[in-house]
Structure 1
Amino acid sequence: MATQTRQLVDLLSAEGHNVHVVQTNSAYSPAWIKKIRGARAIFRLLPYFRKVWQLAGKVNVIHLMANSGWSWQLFSAPVIWIAWIRKTPLIVNYRGGEAPQYFSRSMPWIRPTMKRAVKIVVPSGYLEKVFGEYGFQCEVIPNIVNLERFMPNPAASYKTNSRFTLIVTRNLEPIYGLPTAIKALALAADHIPSIEVLIAGTGPEKERLKNLSKRLGVDDKVHFVGRLGPGEIEKFYQGADVMLNPTTVDNMPNSILEALASCVPVISTNIGGVPYMVEHNNTALLVPVNDEEEMARQILRLYKDDKLREKLIVNGLQEVAQYSWLSVKPLWLSAYNSVQHKLRIN
């Protein structure tokens, strides 16, 4: 969500629009307060609310990037009420992959707040369906992928080096299913001795994943490269043969779009909004959640079947074109224009 926010701000600013950003994670003031667990939340929230209140009286529209759980309760719901009190049109841009679970538990608390928004925008048909089940109408505006950053490597030629490289670009957290990727690699390694997986991300599961790799005898094939910044992540995709997305919860992962734009075939779990983004055997290969055997089988398919690989690459490039700024910009400008002078959704 942070990446999409920065990208949208930069693109709108470049078009000449006056964009103000209020961060939820601004530096603590005074700095020493971050050492006090109970107090630091207050010292972060109060300045955040003050900035939102001040800006709400000056801007034409508030674009709220929203997520599930505590993020919604602490950083989103109060902003919606501030906008409503100050009579500033607000768009909720909801991006929580865990929306079904969160809504089922908390909708009685969510509904009164959500009704104060002028418009709800979601990035996928998946979330549109989830909101529809609770009687909310949404507009779908997809994520943006920078096709000038993420592009095919003109020097790359499949199978010209000695390694068959899988990549994963997810943080090392339980919901992202990294054990499935490692287990799938271990199964595929019996048939592809040159296989390896490079995992870009950080998180609390690193030691557990390392231990799993050792138990499976593939610790020499599993490499943790840490968090990659701009300029590094693009090259990371360009050096890959396959991108794995083994997640157990997801909405619209930008990593899939970045891989497609980089001509890297994708194998993903068929969870959440992923089937709304890509089609099995046409633009990607989809497998059930936590099914390392099926993921390994699809890895072998891509290793052996050059025609399938080429089909996924060509179709993926065509698919990802709809996520360019050229395609998405008119949708956002129309959304902003449509909510001015309105105070709530129907």
Structure 2
Amino acid sequence: MRICYFADSESIHTERWCKHFQSLGHDIHLITYKSKQIEGIKTYSVNMGTLDVSGGNWRVLLRFRQVRKLLKEIKPDVFHALYATSYGITGALCGFHPYIISSLGSDILISPKNSRIYRILLKFAFKRADLIMVMADHMIPPAKELGAKESKIVALPFGIDQQIFNSENRSVPEDEFVITCTRNFEPIYNMPHLLKALQKVVAEIPNIRVNLIGSGSQKEELMRMTEEFGLASRVHFLGKIPQREIADYLNKSHVFVSLSLSDGNNISLNEAMACGTWNIVTDIPANHQWIKDGENGFFVQIDDVDGLANLIVRSRNEYHELMEKAVVLNDQLLREKGIWQINMQKAEKWYLQLIND
């Protein structure tokens, strides 16, 4: 099977999809708006310069003829766009079938609410798509509101690779209380509130250590806040690192924190669960399928800095008691719907079904 992905080559999600299906023996091609090449994958760059992560990249739609020309050269059996707005809409303009759009979160949960034009274009794209993959059940109603037929929508969390993310080598330090966050430094992930909460707890937890794994437009601001709050010796900016290194940090962490304002499916949370952390996450729909409040994590309200600070302290004080339940529940929930290899088997079946139809 020849599969052509249309997606961000800098995204770990794109790399995972491409390399997984290549490992199964399929012929994989990638068309991307970024200049980065994925090693071992036939990558075609339609270079658009710097794209704004907050949206408004309308000029990408004007390149659909170039993408369509590449599709005629590649001749794939299936064409799959990862992200519904920039890539999904442009892919729909190409008129290729079978065509799949994966929505990852803010592309249908936030962007259409902020822009009438996005709503119109997404309705057009979903009408043209043969299958729409969303990350979780709570994304099905918004997809339907954008004109997607229910018969075309499937919920498919990406899930975690158990060979990388597991708790086999878990070992948390006794002389430090370690918190790790693997969300990028963009407004949607609400990172300043973590630093504000840390400022409130550092006197009570003087041995706290915080690992921030990621990158983004707010990095300089976050580093400035770290200095201003007197947290420079405790907060460590680790940048973007390979998945195995992320797993190693999570295995040495007591708590994982995610303060996202919105998510499709919180894969970062799934990875942390697999590594055996206690979890503090925002009370949003995406997290409700994975966290049972007080059993394998705590919910915190968006922007509740004092509440977050209190939950960090409680997690430290009650850590061993809390983890007795959490380990079993994390494993159970992930086995039910959070394993990458099992979920990709479903994706492969849908590919073959579309091709045969």
- Letter of the 1:264 partner, please give it: T
Over the matched positions of the two proteins, sequence identity in percent amounts to 22
Alignment of 1:161 onto 2:174? yes
Partner residue of 2:91 out of 79, 90, 96: 79
Root mean square deviation, CA, Å: 3.0
Change (3 A) 1:188 1:121: same
| C-alpha contact (below 8 Å) 2:167/2:276 kept by paired residues | yes
Matched, 1:307 2:316: no
Q: Give the direction of change, closer, same or farther, for the CA distance of 1:332–1:238 in structure 2 (3 Å limit).
A: same
What SS does the aligned partner of 1:145 have? coil
> CA, structure 1 residues 279+134, in 2 after alignment: closer, same or farther (shift >3 Å)?
farther
- Superposed counterparts of 1:159-308, under 5 Å: 160-305=173-318, 306-308=320-322
Q: Which residue of 2 aligns with 1:338?
A: 353
Which runs of 5 or more residues in structure 1 are unaligned?
none
Q: 1:155 to 1:203 in 2, by over 3 A?
A: closer
Residue 329 and residue 99 in structure 1: after superposition, are their counterparts in 2 closer, same or farther (change >3 A)?
Answer: closer
Q: 1:294, CA displacement in angstroms?
A: 1.3
More relative contact order, 1 or 2 (CA 8 Å, 6+ apart): 1
- For residues 116-135 of structure 1, what are the structure 2 equivalents within 5 Å? 116-135=128-147
- Equivalent residue, structure 2, for 1:61: 78
Q: Distance in 2 between matches of 1:219 and 1:275?
A: 33
Residues 195, 273 of structure 1: CA spacing in aligned structure 2 closer, same or farther, 3 A cutoff?
Answer: same
Report the secondary structure of 2:70's partner residue.
helix
Aligned residue number for residue 103 of structure 2: 94
Distance in 1 of aligned mates of 2:33 and 2:48: 16
| TM norm structure 2 | 0.81
C-alpha distance in structure 2 between counterparts of 1:214 and 1:139, whole Å: 46
Instruction: Provide, for residues 19-78 of structure 1, a one-character-per-residue CA deviation record: whole Å limited to 9, x for no partner.
Output: 322233136999x9969xxxx9799876544323433xx22221221244xx2xxx3223
Alignment of 1:315-330 (within 5 A): 315-321=329-335, 322-330=337-345
- Give 1:146 shift: 0.7
User: Relative to total residues, which structure has the larger strand share, 1 or 2?
Assistant: 2
The counterpart of 1:50, out of the listed 69, 88, 100, is 69
Is the contact between residue 83 and residue 107 of structure 2 (CA under 8 Å) also seen in structure 1? no
Q: Which moved more, 1:113-122 or 1:247-256?
A: 247-256
Return the match for 2:112 from 91, 95, 103: 103
> Aligned pairs, how many?
327
State the SS of the aligned residue for 2:330.
helix
Cα 1:203–1:66 shift into 2, 3 Å:
closer
| Matching of residue 11 in structure 1 with residue 20 in structure 2 | yes
Structure 1 residue 143 corresponds to structure 2 residue 158? yes
CA–CA distance in structure 2, aligned partners of residues 122 and 79 of structure 1? 17
Q: CA deviation at 1:314?
A: 2.3
Shift in alpha-carbon separation, 1:198–1:287, aligned structure 2, 3 A: same
Shift of 1:279: 2.7
SS, match of residue 232 in structure 1: helix
| Structure 2: runs of 5+ lacking an equivalent | 1-7, 38-43, 51-58
Per the TM alignment, residue 166 of structure 1 is displaced from its structure 2 partner at its CA by 0.7
Equivalents in 2 of 1:225, 1:307: separation in Å? 30
String of CA shifts for 1:272-298, please: whole Å, max 9, x gaps.
522233332233321111111111222
Cα offset for 1:333? Answer: 2.4
Give the superposition deviation at 1:95. 1.1
Does the 8 A contact of 1:185 with 1:196 survive in 2? no
SS at structure 2 position matched to 1:185: helix
Would you say the 8 A contact 1:144–1:323 is kept in 2? yes
From the superposition, tell whether residues 142 and 34 of structure 1 become closer, same or farther in structure 2 (CA, over 3 Å).
closer
